[in-house]
Amino acid sequence: MCGRFVMARAIGDLMAAAGVDNAHFEDLHPDYNVAPTKDIPVVVEHFQNPRDASTEWQRNLYMARWGLVPAWAKDLSFGQRTFNARAETVIEKPSFRAAVKSRRAAIPVDGYYEWLAPQTKGERKQPYYVSPKDGSPIFFAGLYEWWKDPSADNDAPWVLSTTILTGASPETGSEPKILDELAGLHDRLPLPMSTAMMREWLSAGEVTKDEAAHLVDAVVAGAYDVAAEWEMYPVDPMVGSVHNNGSQLIDPLDPNGGQGTLV
């Protein structure tokens, strides 16, 4: 699964990496402890005028609430349990089956945290930071939805929300070594996309159920090749509190057992 990540990239750098035409927000503040229900950047493609198919097709960057809220949800709290979508069931699950056919997104992150379950009783979970070795961003496959409070006035704002797709982690013993390490870290993996896969995922437009299933299968098939270029290392357990933030959260854990400090 993916329940915490880092996005500390400047907006200009993110736009260049994502190849977007427009950003629909002015600034992006570094966040080293992004948790569900926070607003996060998402990459989507649509016509320049979404109501006019004769206008230019563009790639855009928006801010969206992390935790997908379908149009039929009663309130925003629905998104507290939909920050991840399982690739195996996304085509059928009511929360996601409409979005996967027409509202696909890419979620950029610098890296993400995952907690290793304790090996012996009494030990605490150990957080790890997972990121590309070359410092490039990861683009996770995702979905998005627009939601409006059904009890609000007609002029109430629409809320954009999103979710990250996950799949099965690599099998134990996989090569290269990082895939074996990911296998031991958790049984779920947020699904990264190559540049080519992201283009296909975003630009397909509205598709049938079978076509959507094919796109999901393609994302799953290519995910391990992208993850093969990652690295992971243990970090301080202070990342477990959403109140902690700052670049010190991604510092490698002191092998001598020293604790990081907040600044």
Phi-psi region of 100 (alpha: psi -120 to 50; beta: other; left: phi over 0): alpha
SS3 110: coil
Instruction: Catalytic residue, from 26, 88, 92, 114: name it.
Output: 114
| Catalytically annotated residue among 2, 45, 145, 181 | 2
Our answer to whether residue 2 is catalytic in this structure is yes
* Strands lying side by side in the sheet with 31-34: 31-34, 5-7, 111-116, 126-132, 230-234
Does the active-site annotation cover 114? Answer: yes
Side-chain-side CA neighbours of residue 49 (13 Å): 5
Please state, in angstroms and as integers, the Cα–Cα distance from residue 37 to each residue in 3, 103, 149, 181, following that order. 10, 19, 16, 29
Q: How far apart are the first and last CA of the chain?
A: 29
CA distance 148 to 260: 42
Residues carrying an active site annotation: 2, 114
